[in-house]
Structure 1
Amino acid sequence: MKSHPLQFLRIMGLLDGLSLIILLFISMPLKYIWNEPQFVAINGAIHGGIFILYCITIAFVQTRYQWKGYWTALSVIVAFIPFGNFIFDRQLKKIEPTLSPQPFPYHWIVYGIIFFSFFDLFVQLPIMSTYARTLGASIFIVGIVVGLYSFTNTFGNIFSGIFTDKIGAYRMLFIGLFLSIVSLFSYQLIDEPSTLLWVRSIHGFSSGFITPAAFTLLANMRKENNQGSGSAFTGAFVGLAAIIGPATGGILGTKMDVPDVLGIVAILGTILMISLLFVSAGKVSVKKIETDRQPFKWSQKIIYSYIGAFFLMLSQGSLAYLLPIYVQDIGYTSRMSGTLLSMFGIVAVIIFISPLNRIFDYLNAKIALVIGIFLLAISQMLIGLVDTTIPLYGALSLYGIGFAFTFPAINKLLMEATTPDVRGKAYGYFYAFFSIGTVVGSFLLGSLDLINTPGFTFTSCILFVFCIGISLSFIKRKA
């Protein structure tokens, strides 16, 4: 009897559910009641590894059978609920006979590359600063090491945007993948802080090639009437990377050296690069660029898109800077800040991959942008005003909704204002604003010495001012 890929998903789901139950109801009591912490460390590592394999299996089933997005969402959600996998397994068993293999959608390889690019970024967050310290770097150098990736990534984005339009998104994507993989393997050669600075510069710059080329390739594949939902679905892979990346980096970082962790990321990139070789112009619906190019022109929609990207990532950079400090100061562990950040990612991903994403096809992108930034501002304000678990999770869930509105809106604005022959350059500048916003968010708060409630309030006020300003510009233009 031929095996059904869904059977493998069911097996991985049951193993994930079993490891979660053992962790919560056996290992945790052994640690906190009988003072035996080693069981949590061992069980936690096993559960983390199984969860990663489970997520990979979900992605494979989604691409192989192209089932409804809510099944993928449920597959992820139940992994966080005790006994959830076992209940969900019954539903999978019922739908198994109704599923049949579909032609492989080659654009999923591009989705995978987008996931890899952001996974590469997020997996570094819990390990890079400590790694720099082990090499003997001072606190000042550690700060440079952490921020250098995003700084050089900005120039990589711009470079990629220019050359994507000249040589094509597919070629630029392949070049970016190759150079990023080489830079990831280069961490094996590091033995002092100065070498780390060089590798970080090259890594950030080369990785900056990927996102403009990948988003340009996907934008050119989509029909005009589903650019909003398509952008939302693409955002799901960014959200998944934000959920899985830090956890993976933290788990693997306790078991192996940082260069080896990044080597594993490089292997993932190598698999995707080989897969990309099977994608050609004949297999994906990519419009060819005309020889008579139209020059890139600035427009109101492009400006709104870029400013929206900047403020979205300013908010994100501020959150990454403020939340761990705030959580620690109100009496929780660093694990709490990790789960809070995961909560916002989970909420955003659910919206991105569920039927709710269709709202972004019909909702005016400018209105969606204002709604999204407004919700981000409210959530930043609330985070600084609450200090108990449930309200904090509620505030981060609201942040996830704001992110889910903002990301598709700024992408849709950009696609509405550009044509395929200049979209690469447009996305290059777009992700440059992304990178700059992340750096400015943490740098500004650090320079002003703002932490905890004042920091969240300051960030919230900046976002509110942006909302008011962009709303007034809409009203003035209509008048």
Structure 2
Amino acid sequence: MRYFIFFIVIVAFIDTFSQLPIMSPFAKSISPSPAFIGLIVGMYSFSNMIGNVLAGYWIDKSGAKIVLVSGLALTGSILVLYTLVGTPMQLIAIRFLHGLFGGFLVPAAFTVIANRGKSNKQGKSMALSGAAVGSSAIMGPAFGAVVASKYSVDWVFLIIAATMISSAVFAFTFLASRGNEEAKRTDAHSERLLPLMKEPMLAVSYAGAFSLMFAQGTLAYLLPLQVENLQFNSIFSGILLSTFGITAILIFLLPINKIFDKYKHQNTMMTGMIIIGMALIVLSSASSLTYMFFCMILYGTGFALLFPSINALIAKHTTEKTRGKAFGLFYAFFSLGVVAGSTFLGLLGVSFRAGFVIAAVVLLFTVCAMYLYFKKNSTSFLKSQE
């Protein structure tokens, strides 16, 4: 059953990644306005943040299973509606609902994984889930592009919709509810988000998530521009991104993944952030494909250390009464980081060199702040680990 949950993670992220090569052309076929296309692309991330937070409340009130099943069924149904779109307002509405309901899936799936994982094996468990995300990052864009070009965009939506609705039926039938998921949550403290954001280790996780996805948004925005500027074939943008994904997956799946439970999660998290920062700085001056591939391998190594660590921190520093909202907030910061990275640098109008350096500075500044915090609070922090 654990592998079925990983499969759902793959489906949820393929839904997101498969949109990358098709959504802008699809929006353009409805309205050629650049402003409209930008709105359509950004609407998903905006409503996805709302869905993440709402999912957190719902998970802690009713249990992760019902949220997961509902998210799969609702998202699958919304995907079918893309095939009926005829006007810009219809597309905006569907895009909003797609992001909203899609926001239920990942917090629910990761809550199920965390609740079923052993406390001393959360790092390895989150590494395997990271491999699922990495697989989606590789397969999703290729799936969307190939199916849309050979058949039509409608078939992309319909195939993913059928997969999600089938998964919803399977999850409802075979995924067991944990005993305490059946009981209504009555702890008033767990009904508020602010106490979670004030929890030091959760705040650290959220800062790590935001800075990671700020870098990711920067990479997605600037790497194609760098490839174009260096006059390489545009296909290398996808190959370079796949290189970072493959590197991360190998680290997630090979025996080296034991490091996530051998060392403190905050240490592997900060190490990953430093490596990503270094990769971006080196990438800013890259002028050959060999150099860029090396940067992507370095980036993938940092991502592999960072992603499971921040997920494991949340699993370790929450209870089943608060874990849903904690993961909901976490993935809201994920979405916010992607939007902030691409939007902020787009507004600044900086070159790809300056953009990569800015993203690296954000990461390294966050690491410095974390290090100073841990050093200042080392005594009380050690007690909290016992």
TM value normalised by structure 2: 0.93
Give the one of 415, 418, 433 matched to 2:315.
415
Does residue 1:394 correspond to 2:318, yes or no?
Answer: no
Mapped partners of 1:365, 1:295: distance in 2: 26
Show the counterpart of 1:208: 103
AA paired with 1:335? Answer: I
Using the TM superposition, name which of 261-270 and 165-174 deviates more: 261-270
Secondary structure at the counterpart of residue 208 of structure 1: helix
Of Structure 1 and Structure 2, the greater helix share is in 2
Does residue 1:429 correspond to 2:329, yes or no?
Answer: yes
User: Is 1:220–1:287's contact at 8 Å kept on the other side of the alignment?
Assistant: no
Mapped partners of 2:175, 2:40: distance in 1: 37
Q: What are the Cα deviations for residues 144-172 of structure 1, in whole angstroms up to 9, with x where unaligned?
A: 11111011000000000001111110001
- Cα shift at 1:247: 1.0
Q: Any residues of structure 2 matched to 1:181-220 within 5 Å, and which?
A: 181-220=76-115
AA paired with 1:381? Answer: I
Q: What are the Cα deviations for residues 49-86 of structure 1, in whole angstroms up to 9, with x where unaligned?
A: xxxxxxxxxxxxxxxxxxxxxxxxxxxxxxxxxxxxxx
Q: Any residues of structure 2 matched to 1:9-408 within 5 Å, and which?
A: 106-281=1-176, 293=187, 295-296=189-190, 297-298=195-196, 299-408=199-308
- Cα shift at 1:454: 1.1
- Cα shift at 1:115: 0.7
Mapped partners of 2:136, 2:283: distance in 1: 23
User: Is 1:217–1:286's contact at 8 Å kept on the other side of the alignment?
Assistant: no
User: Is 2:56–2:328's contact at 8 Å kept on the other side of the alignment?
Assistant: yes
User: Is 1:158–1:429's contact at 8 Å kept on the other side of the alignment?
Assistant: yes
Show the counterpart of 2:383: none
- Cα shift at 1:286: 8.0
AA paired with 1:135? Answer: I
Unaligned runs of at least 5 residues, structure 1: 1-105
Q: Any residues of structure 2 matched to 1:455-466 within 5 Å, and which?
A: 455-466=355-366
Q: What are the Cα deviations for residues 373-392 of structure 1, in whole angstroms up to 9, with x where unaligned?
A: 11111111111111211111
Mapped partners of 2:181, 2:43: distance in 1: 36
Q: Classify 1:133/1:224 alpha carbon distance in 2 versus 1 (closer, same or farther; 3 Å).
A: same
Mapped partners of 2:217, 2:332: distance in 1: 14
Q: Classify 1:175/1:381 alpha carbon distance in 2 versus 1 (closer, same or farther; 3 Å).
A: same
User: Is 1:132–1:145's contact at 8 Å kept on the other side of the alignment?
Assistant: yes
Mapped partners of 2:254, 2:173: distance in 1: 29
User: Is 1:220–1:286's contact at 8 Å kept on the other side of the alignment?
Assistant: no
User: Is 2:62–2:182's contact at 8 Å kept on the other side of the alignment?
Assistant: no
- Cα shift at 1:258: 1.5
Unaligned runs of at least 5 residues, structure 2: 380-386
Mapped partners of 1:155, 1:110: distance in 2: 23
AA paired with 1:350? Answer: L
Q: Classify 1:285/1:398 alpha carbon distance in 2 versus 1 (closer, same or farther; 3 Å).
A: farther
AA paired with 1:312? Answer: L
- Cα shift at 1:187: 0.3
AA paired with 1:336? Answer: F
Q: Classify 1:369/1:466 alpha carbon distance in 2 versus 1 (closer, same or farther; 3 Å).
A: same
AA paired with 1:211? Answer: V
- Cα shift at 1:122: 0.2
Secondary structure at the counterpart of residue 219 of structure 1: helix
User: Is 2:60–2:322's contact at 8 Å kept on the other side of the alignment?
Assistant: yes
TM value normalised by structure 1: 0.75
Runs of 4+ in 1 over 3 A off after TM superposition: 284-294
User: Is 1:112–1:272's contact at 8 Å kept on the other side of the alignment?
Assistant: no
Number of paired residues? 373
